Structures are given as structure tokens and as C-alpha cells.
Amino acid sequence: MWASDFPHADSTFPESRASIAESFASLPLADCRKITADNCRELYGFGPAFS
């Protein structure tokens, strides 16, 4: 799982967006979705994600 300080959009901590883009650059989109949404949704029992 990956976490952020959502919804505090007033700051992107030093290079958060660039860091995640670089880290995920070589991963398939399906894996990125699991890391950023689906695994957490499943762990906490949230309903289906918006598409």
C-alpha cells in the first residue's frame, strides 16, 4: 500500500508526486491501482472504487 496526506492538497511534501511517478514508472497500471487503491479498499472492506 501507498499512503498520502489526502485531502491536504496545500502541500506536496518534497517531491511527493515526482517520487511516486518515478517509483511506479515501470509497473503495470493494474499494479499501480492495487498499490494506491484496491489493496486498501479490500483491507478495510470499502465498497467498489469509482472508475
In angstroms, the CA 29 to CA 39 distance is 14
Q: What is the mean pLDDT of the chain?
A: 82
Q: pLDDT tens across 13-29, in order?
A: 778 788 888 999 999 99
The yes-or-no verdict on residue 6 having pLDDT over 90 is: no
**Beta strand residue intervals within the chain, DSSP E:** none
Say what the pTM is: 0.63
pLDDT band at 48 (very low <50, low <70, confident <90, very high): confident
Mean pLDDT of 38-51: 82
